Each structure stands twice: as C-alpha cells, then as structure tokens.
C-alpha cells in the first residue's frame, strides 16, 4: 500500500511550493510585512496613549480615534482597492506598497504629533487596501494550480501566525527602550518611537525582498466584482440571516466572539497603565489574546468531544463573557494576562465551532454571500469595538472610592467597559445557546460527565460511509472513490445497504418493493437493523480486520434519518436498535452528499417505495442527516452535491487522506 506516500501529501506539497524561488520570496516579504503590521497595531495604540496628554479621557479618545481610523480605510476604500490594483504593475505595487508603509511608520515619531499619527494611519491603511489584493492575486501566479490550496494555507498561517511573534518583538523593543533610557540616558519622544523605526525597517526589508522577484505575470484579474458587489452582498446576505433563526444566532455569536477579543485589544494599552504596567504589558496582553485564540481554535473542540457543537458555541461565548467579567474585577497584571489567555481560548472555541456550523447550516446557494457578509460584519464590529471601547472608557473615566482612611477602591473606565462588554457577550451567548440547543432534555452536567457517545472505531482498516438523500450521487461517488483508491494501490471493498448479503437481499426486497404495501414502523426499523447486523458481521468487519478500505453506500445514519426522523419513531429508539445491530461500529468518515430533495428525486424516473414518499418526508430526512454531521464535524464531510462528479470526488478524496494515513500508522504500530 502506498500509505506512506499519502501520509506525506501535505508535507510534500509544502516542500514543493517552497522550492519555488519567487514563492519563497513572496512568503518572506509577507512574513516581514505581517510581523511589522501587527507590531504597527500595538505601536500606534501605544503612541496615541503616550502623546495624548495626561488625562484618562484624552488617552482613551486618542486610542479610539487611531484604532477607528485604522479599520476605516478597509471599509471605505477596500472595494476600490482591487480595482486600482488591477491597473498597476504587480511587482511595482508590492514593492512601493511596502516602502510607503515603512516610510509612513518612520514619519510618525519624526513628526511626533497626534494629528500626524491619525493622517499616517489612514495613509498606511489606504496603501494596504491596494497592497493586499495585489498580494492575493500574485500568489496564484507563482505556484501551480494544484498547489494553490497549500499556498493559501501558508498565506493565512503567515498572516495570522505572525501576531504572536509580533507581540513578543514589541515587548522586547519596549524593554530595550526602557533600558536605553534608564542606563544610557537616551530619551525619546514617546516610548514607542524605537518600535516605529523597527516597524519601518521591517516593511523596507519586505520591499527589498519583493524587488528581487522576477516580473510577475498579470494572470487572472483580481475579482473586482467580488469587491464592488459589497453592498449588494451585504443586503442579500442580510435578508437571509434575518429570516433564518439558527444562522442569525450563529452570526450574532461569531461577531460577539470577535467583539470580546477586540475589546481587550482596544482597551489593553490603557488597562495596562491602570495595572501599573506599560507598553510591554500591553504587548503581553495582546499576545495573550492571540495565544488563547489559537489554542482554543486548535484544541478547544477536541477537548470537549461529548458536548454538542451547537451547545458548545453558545457555551464558549458565555464562558468568554464570564472570564472578561472576572478580568474587569481584578487589578493584577499577571493574573490578567493568564485570564486573557483563557478569554481568548473560549472565544476561539466559539469562533471555530461557529464557523464550522455556519458552513453546515447555510443553504448552498447563499453560502458564499453569507460568508462574505460575516467577514464584513466582523470588520465593522471590530472597527466599532476598537473605537467604542476606549471612547466609552474615556467617558466613564477613572474613579477612586475611599472606603476607610486606609483603604480605597480604584475602578477605571477600562475595567468598567470590560464589564459592559462581558455582559453583552454573556447575553449573546445565552441567547445563542437557547436558540440552538439541540439536546433540550440533557443537562450540561450529564453531557460533560455522562457515558461517552456510543460507538467504536475499527482498529484496523478504514471505514467510509456515503450518506444522503435519494439521487444525491452516493453510488456514483462510492464507485469513483473505490476506483481512485484501487489505482492508489489500496485494497478496497465496495458495499451497500440494504441488501449486500444473501439474507439482506431478501430483506431489501421486502423493504423496497412497492408491493409490500405499508409496514409497521417498528417492523421497518427492525428489518433494516437485521440487514445491518448481517452486513457488519459477515462483510464489513471481516474486511476491516483484513486491513481493507470499506466503502459503504448508506449505513446507520440512513436508519436514523429515515426511520428516526422521517417516520414517527424517535431517533433514540432507532439509535438503540441500530447501534446494537451494528455492534456500535462507526465509520471513520461519513460523507454526506447534501442536496435539496427535489433535485435528487429529479434525477430518477421510476420511484421505489421510499422514494415515493412526499417531499416533506425527504426534507425531514435531509435535516436529520445535517444535524448528525453538525454534531460531529471530525467524522463527517458535508459536500454540496450540486457540484460536478469530479469536484465532489476530489473533495471526498482530500478529506479521506488523513484517515487513510492514520490507518497505515495504526497498522504499522500493531
Ligand atoms: N454530481 C452529479 N451531478 C449530476 N448528476 C449526477 C451527479 N452524480 C450522480 N448523478 C446522476 O444522478 C443519478 C443518481 O445518482 P446515484 O449515484 O445513483 O445516487 P444515489 O446513490 O445517491 O441515489 C444518476 O443518474 C447519476 O448519473
Ligand atoms: C440503509 C437504509 C436505507 N433506507 C432507505 C433509503 C432508500 O430509500 C432505500 C435504499 O435504497 P437504495 O437503492 O440504496 O437507494 P439510493 O439509490 O437512493 O441510495 O432504503 C432506510 O430507510 N434505512 C436504512 O437504514
């Protein structure tokens, strides 16, 4: 079996793109620019804080202003950026864009006024609005098409992954500035001056690297219509979100998760001063938000495998809000930093589950628009939170209450604003939890401490199930997958339910023959269960034990969906019988081919007994399949079954690869 080759696929992919000289250079330039850009966010906040004069309100208003101006150009000029970028030479735009941003950063401490900080910030972001689409349009011209996905992953990882090193660098430079002024008598205008120069050098170095790239072919044009249609996108997506309950809960929640993280970034600088820390303290808080977000996104959902994803989403928000409330009450820098990691962790859990659920819940035809809208809403929310947070804090001001002659309580505007934001996050979280609670009878305690979900995964072989409504393309995809895997050297068993055993064939005839007439619902469930028992014991398990890849066209989910949701039996009843019949064996991966019932049914001419059921039966079945997938994203792939046969086959193959690799490792270990 060529398993180890498959194991290496993404590693080879990365190695392959990094062997491309110009991609390497683009990546280096992007890394330097991203690092400088994140440091820039910290530095302009610190600079505004220092230059704004003494008062608590002035400092907060200055920070509110500069953060708002930083986000504004992306919203206002953003749509125009792609249009302008399309008309300029790519390499020149990349180089000049970085040099200009570097020059603007260097000019901030040289001019040294608040007004110039504002102007320079707008200039920097306006240049960035043209630079970003140029960068995104350049990457496809540097790598072969089949490596584009890898390249995009690297692009994203570099852009966001540089936040943490940027925070570390910011802290180091802040400390060096402090040392220089204490021991070498080197006094600067503000504590962030040196940082600004370091940022400028970062951008200039990025520009220099871009200059060494070969001429970049113009290639495909930047999707201008994507950008120009922003307003229409927002309106279309808005109507959809407004009318769909679960989606509305998700979107509000996702924006809320960003708000909770954003408020810490917006208020972090002033809050650090409140706690007796300075720029370095702010850098720490900022880094902690990202550390928490990253950890939450990676590990969070995995550490809570038993909790329903829909519940987890709301719970993450509530926990983030509660953590923020605690942060608002304490006055200790070290404790605050630890709690900010926790805050980021919970916000990260909500963000990643929300994003995954949104992909599953949103109807295919509006998915693109909805995601675009969510991105815009996040940007707007961040702009508002980054600006409003400090503004509210400034308005509230710092207060000190004398309790006794010796004790007093200081409560600052920043802490108070955290408390307001915490309350908002908790309210949004509770409402999302209520709206999306898919296990109303089960208490949270039962969910966390109850027995693990029933089921076992075969130690040997790889078990794949294809599920979906009638005519979704299950048999077609099962065949394509089996062929592709056989070509790759795998030992494959292609099978189906009901009817792939001698007894099963008889059961199938009873079940699907229109002449059978109506069956008691429990009889029907038991006959399907009997077919499965025979199938698992005599076909599936022996093949898995022999190390094969078993692909089944329909499995347990079909029973849960058809007998459990379509009929009057409850899902629990059907699940009890079916899991018992299959000896709890679960597929390593279930592929759900998702399509509206009328599209699937339209692919046939002569319906069988179940296919002749009314459309709302099939709609309930479809909803049920989607719920099963949403509750366990790790073991499911939901594919839009409108796509072409080849597109779908490629998506299935890609998602299966890690599972195949795991099977090979399991086999090697045993
Ligand atoms: N991606 C697709 N686009 C359009 N038609 C398809 C696609 N996949 C399969 N079909 C066609 O739809 C019909 C049903 O496909 P089939 O694989 O038998 O579905 P299922 O097993 O889910 O009932 C067949 O005629 C098949 O050729
Ligand atoms: C496996 C299974 C199938 N079914 C139904 C779904 C289908 O209508 C029918 C299976 O027929 P099948 O020929 O597999 O249909 P398709 O080509 O759409 O996959 O049996 C159940 O109701 N419960 C089950 O557990």
Q: What is the 3-state secondary structure (H, E, C) of 364-390?
A: HHHHHHHHHHHHHHHHHHHHHHHHHHH
The first and second tokens of residue 286, run together, are 């900022």
* Closest ligand to residue 647's CA: 1
pLDDT at 509 over 50: yes
Distance from C-alpha of 148 to C-alpha of 142, rounded to nearest angstrom = 9
Lowest mean pLDDT among 61-65, 73-77, 279-283: 73-77
pLDDT at 9 over 50: no
Buried b (16+ CB within 10 A) or exposed e, 586-613: bbbbbbbbbbbbeebbeeeeeeebbbeb
The predicted pLDDT at position 3 comes to 37
Compute, in angstroms, the gap from residue 497 CA to the centroid of ligand 2: 7
Distance from C-alpha of 517 to C-alpha of 380, rounded to nearest angstrom = 58
509: annotated binding-site residue? no
* Alpha-carbon separation of residue 565 from 46, 75, 525, 570, 621 (angstroms): 57, 45, 12, 7, 6
Compute, in angstroms, the gap from residue 1 CA to the centroid of ligand 1: 30
472: annotated binding-site residue? yes
Q: Is the CB of 558 under 6 A from ligand 2?
A: yes
What values do phi and psi take at 494, rounded to 5? -100, 125
SS3 content of the chain, % helix, strand, coil (to 5): 75, 5, 20
Burial of 631 (0-12, 13-18, 19+ CB in 10 A): buried
Domains of the chain, by residue range, sit at 20-143+154-228, 241-451, 456-669
User: Of the candidates 262, 287, 264, which has an alpha carbon nearest to the alpha carbon of residue 169?
Assistant: 287
Compute, in angstroms, the gap from residue 526 CA to the centroid of ligand 1: 28
Q: Whose CA is nearest to atom 24 of ligand 2?
A: 559
Q: At what angle do helices 245-274 and 333-361 cross, to 10 degrees?
A: 160
Percent of the chain past pLDDT 70, that is, above it, reads: 87
pLDDT tens for residues 322-368? 999 999 988 788 999 999 999 999 998 888 888 777 766 666 566 66
User: Of the candidates 265, 344, 258, 357, which has an alpha carbon nearest to the alpha carbon of residue 297?
Assistant: 344
* HSE (side-chain half, CA atoms, 13 Å) at 367: 13
Q: Is the CB of 497 under 6 A from ligand 2?
A: yes
Q: Is the CB of 535 under 6 A from ligand 2?
A: no
Q: Whose CA is nearest to atom 3 of ligand 1?
A: 644
Distance from C-alpha of 74 to C-alpha of 60, rounded to nearest angstrom = 22
**Residues 416, 60 contacting (CB under 8 angstroms):** no
Beta bridge partners of 592: 467, 638
Cα-based angle 606, 611, 613 (whole degrees, multiple of 5): 125
611: annotated binding-site residue? no
The predicted pLDDT at position 5 comes to 35
The predicted pLDDT at position 451 comes to 61
Compute, in angstroms, the gap from residue 105 CA to the centroid of ligand 1: 58
Ligand 2 atom closest to residue 556's alpha carbon, by position in its atom list = 25
- Provide the pLDDT confidence category of residue 8 given band limits of 50, 70 and 90: very low
The predicted pLDDT at position 318 comes to 95
Compute, in angstroms, the gap from residue 21 CA to the centroid of ligand 1: 43
10: annotated binding-site residue? no
Compute, in angstroms, the gap from residue 561 CA to the centroid of ligand 1: 20
Lowest mean pLDDT among 3-12, 304-313, 522-531: 3-12
* Average pLDDT rounded to a whole number, residues 18-30: 92
Distance from C-alpha of 527 to C-alpha of 312, rounded to nearest angstrom = 36
* Alpha-carbon separation of residue 140 from 134, 136, 217 (angstroms): 11, 8, 10
473: annotated binding-site residue? yes
**Residues 456, 586 contacting (CB under 8 angstroms):** yes
The predicted pLDDT at position 362 comes to 67
Residue with tokens 């479809």: 622
Lowest mean pLDDT among 372-386, 542-556, 581-595: 372-386
The predicted pLDDT at position 529 comes to 97
The predicted pLDDT at position 336 comes to 92
* Closest ligand to residue 613's CA: 2
pLDDT at 273 over 50: yes
Q: What is the DSSP letter of 537?
A: I
Q: Is the CB of 474 under 6 A from ligand 2?
A: yes
Ligand 2 atom closest to residue 600's alpha carbon, by position in its atom list = 18
The first and second tokens of residue 499, run together, are 């009817």
Q: Whose CA is nearest to atom 25 of ligand 1?
A: 603
Distance from C-alpha of 557 to C-alpha of 636, rounded to nearest angstrom = 11
* Alpha-carbon separation of residue 30 from 27, 215, 530, 654 (angstroms): 5, 17, 59, 27
Q: Whose CA is nearest to atom 23 of ligand 2?
A: 559
The predicted pLDDT at position 526 comes to 96
* Average pLDDT rounded to a whole number, residues 267-276: 86
Cβ < 6 A, ligand 1 pocket: 468, 470-476, 603, 644-645, 648
Ligand 2 atom closest to residue 559's alpha carbon, by position in its atom list = 25
The predicted pLDDT at position 202 comes to 97
pLDDT tens for residues 145-203? 777 777 877 887 888 889 889 999 999 999 998 888 888 777 766 788 999 999 999 99
Question: Which strands form 492-496's sheet, in the order they lie side by side?
Answer: 492-496, 549-553, 462-468, 589-594, 636-640
Helix, strand or coil for residue 460? coil
**Residues 424, 256 contacting (CB under 8 angstroms):** yes
The reply to whether domains 20-143+154-228 and 241-451 share a CATH topology is yes
pTM: 0.63
Looking at every residue in the chain, the average pLDDT score rounds to 84
Q: Is the CB of 559 under 6 A from ligand 2?
A: yes
pLDDT tens for residues 597-648? 888 777 776 655 555 667 788 888 998 898 888 777 778 889 988 989 999 9
Mutate which of 364, 468, 471 to test ligand 1's pocket (most atoms within 8 Å of Cβ)? 471
Its ipTM equals 0.96
Q: What is the Cα gyration radius of the chain?
A: 28
What is the CATH class of 456-669?
A: alpha beta
Percent of the chain past pLDDT 90, that is, above it, reads: 39
Give the alpha-carbon dihedral of 60, 61, 67, 72, to 10 degrees.
160
Q: Is the CB of 588 under 6 A from ligand 2?
A: no
The first and second tokens of residue 669, run together, are 């270990």
Beta bridge partners of 457: 586
Ligand 1 atom closest to residue 472's alpha carbon, by position in its atom list = 22
**Residues 459, 669 contacting (CB under 8 angstroms):** no
Q: Whose CA is nearest to atom 16 of ligand 1?
A: 473
pLDDT at 129 over 50: yes
Architecture of domain 241-451: Up-down Bundle (1.20)
Distance from C-alpha of 96 to C-alpha of 130, rounded to nearest angstrom = 11
Compute, in angstroms, the gap from residue 645 CA to the centroid of ligand 1: 8
H/E element holding 289?
Answer: helix 279-303
pLDDT tens for residues 411-454? 788 888 899 999 999 999 998 888 877 666 667 777 777 666 66
The predicted pLDDT at position 170 comes to 94
The predicted pLDDT at position 209 comes to 96
- 219 phi-psi bin (left φ>0, alpha ψ -120 to 50, beta other): left
Sign for the pseudo-dihedral over CA of 277, 282, 284, 289: positive
Distance from C-alpha of 536 to C-alpha of 481, rounded to nearest angstrom = 20
The first and second tokens of residue 324, run together, are 């923020």
Mutate which of 466, 476, 483 to test ligand 1's pocket (most atoms within 8 Å of Cβ)? 476
468: annotated binding-site residue? yes
Mutate which of 603, 622, 647, 650 to test ligand 1's pocket (most atoms within 8 Å of Cβ)? 603
470: annotated binding-site residue? yes
Within the chain, what is the greatest distance between any pair of CA atoms? 97
Q: What is the DSSP letter of 590?
A: E
The first and second tokens of residue 431, run together, are 């409402």
Buried b (16+ CB within 10 A) or exposed e, 111-127: eeebebbbbbbbbbbbb
Q: Which residues contact 140 (CB under 8 A, 6 or more apart)?
A: 148, 151, 219, 220
The first and second tokens of residue 639, run together, are 């594919």
Lowest mean pLDDT among 117-126, 131-140, 239-248, 507-516: 239-248
- Provide the pLDDT confidence category of residue 7 given band limits of 50, 70 and 90: very low
DSSP 110-126: HH--HHHHHHHHHHHHH
Q: Whose CA is nearest to atom 19 of ligand 2?
A: 470
Architecture of domain 20-143+154-228: Up-down Bundle (1.20)
Ligand 1 atom closest to residue 470's alpha carbon, by position in its atom list = 23
């Amino acid at each position: 079996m060529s398993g180890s080759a498959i194991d290496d696929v993404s590693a080879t992919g990365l190695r392959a793109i990094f062997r491309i000289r110009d991609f390497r250079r683009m990546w280096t330039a992007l890394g330097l620019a991203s690092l400088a850009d994140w440091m820039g966010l910290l530095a302009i906040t610190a600079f505004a804080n220092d230059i704004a004069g003494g008062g608590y309100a002035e400092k907060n208003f200055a920070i509110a202003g500069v953060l708002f101006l930083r986000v504004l150009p992306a919203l206002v000029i953003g749509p125009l950026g792609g249009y302008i970028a399309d008309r300029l030479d790519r390499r020149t735009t990349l180089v000049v864009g970085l040099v200009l941003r570097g020059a603007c950063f260097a000019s901030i401490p040289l001019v040294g006024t608040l007004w110039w900080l504002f102007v320079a910030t707008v200039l920097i972001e306006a240049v960035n609005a043209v630079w970003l689409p140029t960068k995104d349009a350049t990457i496809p011209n540097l790598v072969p098409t089949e490596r584009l996905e890898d390249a995009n992953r690297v692009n994203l990882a570099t852009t966001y992954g540089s936040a943490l090193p940027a925070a570390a660098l910011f802290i180091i430079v802040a400390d060096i500035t402090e040392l220089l002024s204490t021991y070498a008598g080197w006094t600067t205008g503000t504590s962030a001056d040196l940082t600004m120069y370091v940022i400028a050098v970062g951008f200039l170095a990025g520009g220099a690297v871009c200059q060494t790239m070969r001429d970049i072919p113009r290639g495909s044009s930047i999707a201008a219509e994507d950008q120009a249609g922003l307003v229409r996108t927002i309106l279309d997506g808005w109507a959809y979100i407004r009318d769909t309950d679960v989606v509305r809960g998700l979107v509000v929640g996702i924006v809320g998760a960003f708000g909770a993280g954003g408020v810490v970034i917006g208020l972090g600088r002033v809050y650090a001063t409140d706690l007796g820390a300075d720029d370095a303290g702010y850098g720490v808080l900022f880094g902690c938000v990202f550390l928490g977000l990253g950890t939450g996104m990676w590990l969070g959902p995995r550490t809570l495998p038993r909790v329903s994803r829909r519940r987890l989403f709301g719970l993450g928000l509530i926990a983030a809000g509660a953590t923020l409330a605690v942060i608002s009450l304490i006055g200790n820098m070290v404790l605050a930093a630890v709690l900010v990691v926790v805050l980021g962790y919970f916000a990260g859990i909500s963000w990643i589950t929300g994003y995954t659920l949104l992909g599953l819940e949103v109807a295919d035809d509006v998915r693109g628009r909805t995601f675009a809208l969510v991105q815009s809403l996040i940007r707007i929310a961040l702009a508002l939170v980054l600006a409003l947070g400090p503004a509210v804090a400034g308005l509230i001001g710092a207060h000190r209450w004398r309790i006794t002659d010796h004790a007093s309580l200081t409560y600052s505007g920043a802490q108070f604003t955290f408390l307001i934001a915490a309350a908002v996050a908790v309210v949004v979280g509770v409402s999302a939890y209520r709206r999306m609670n898919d296990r109303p009878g089960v208490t949270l305690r039962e969910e966390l401490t109850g027995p693990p979900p029933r089921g076992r995964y075969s130690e040997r072989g790889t078990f794949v199930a294809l599920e979906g409504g009638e005519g979704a393309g299950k048999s077609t995809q099962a065949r394509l997958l089996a062929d592709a895997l056989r070509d790759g050297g795998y030992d494959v068993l292609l099978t189906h339910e009901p009817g792939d055993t001698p007894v099963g064939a008889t059961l199938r005839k009873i079940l699907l023959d229109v002449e059978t007439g109506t069956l008691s619902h429990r009889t029907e469930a038991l006959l399907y269960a009997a077919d499965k028992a025979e199938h698992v014991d005599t076909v599936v398990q022996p093949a898995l034990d022999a190390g094969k890849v078993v692909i089944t066209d329909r499995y347990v989910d079909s029973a849960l969906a058809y007998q459990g949701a379509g009929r009057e039996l409850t899902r629990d009843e059907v699940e009890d019988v079916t899991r018992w019949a299959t000896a709890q064996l679960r597929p390593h991966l279930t592929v759900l081919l998702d399509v509206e019932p009328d599209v699937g049914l339209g692919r046939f001419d002569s319906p069988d007994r179940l296919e002749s059921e009314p459309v709302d039966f099939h709609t309930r079945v479809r909803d049920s399949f989607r719920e099963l997938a949403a509750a366990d994203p790790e073991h499911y792939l939901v594919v839009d079954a409108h796509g072409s046969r080849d597109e779908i086959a490629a998506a299935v193959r890609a998602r299966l690869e890690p599972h195949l690799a795991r099977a090979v490792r399991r086999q090697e270990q045993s």
